[in-house]
Structure 1
């Protein structure tokens, strides 16, 4: 399904205590499949409790690049779920891991 140039990265964050995600998963997870050669996001999944949330988050990330400087701005302007802050933190965590991985491979 994914070619040999792809890598898997997961970022995590704490969601608020009253969030259903916290009750089900304890944390918010955001998993990426990224093309190592250019940083393009091939696929993404998250620990949401509603499938529509997962699909909407996929629409924000898929076919963009991990280091796209306006992803956080897009999340702030488009995603108004209770886990907005957790989504941003999980993305930033995954981005740091991506940057470490790509720096090691240079």
Structure 2
């Protein structure tokens, strides 16, 4: 399903105690499939409780470069779900992992 150069990265963060995500999953998770060479985000999923949330998150991320500086800004300006801050932190965690993985392959 995914090309040979695709890698799977997760990021996680705490979400607020009253968030349904916290009740169901304990934490917020963001999973990204990224082309190791180009940095293009191929697929994404998150620990959402509503399918519409997943589709909206996919619309924000898929097709973008993982280190596009406007990604966090887009999350802040477009995603107003209760897990907005957790999504940003989880994305930044995944981005750190991407940098570590790609540094190893150089």
Category of TM-score, reference length = shorter chain: over 0.9
Question: Structure 2: how far apart are the matches of 1:89 and 1:49?
Answer: 18
User: TM-score under structure 1 normalisation?
Assistant: 0.99
Paired position in structure 2 for 1:43: 43
Paired position in structure 2 for 1:14: 14
| 1:61 matches 2:61 | yes
Matched residues, number: 106
Deviation at 1:26, TM superposition (A): 0.2
What is the DSSP-based 3-state SS (H/G/I as helix, E as strand, rest coil) of the residue aligned with 1:10?
Answer: strand
Consecutive unaligned residues of structure 2, counting only runs of 5 or more, are: none
Consecutive unaligned residues of structure 1, counting only runs of 5 or more, are: none
User: TM-score under structure 2 normalisation?
Assistant: 0.99
Question: Structure 2: how far apart are the matches of 1:23 and 1:53?
Answer: 17
Runs of 4+ in 1 over 2 A off after TM superposition: none
Paired position in structure 1 for 2:27: 27
The alignment yields a C-alpha RMSD, in angstroms, of 0.4
Question: Structure 1: how far apart are the matches of 2:31 and 2:82?
Answer: 19
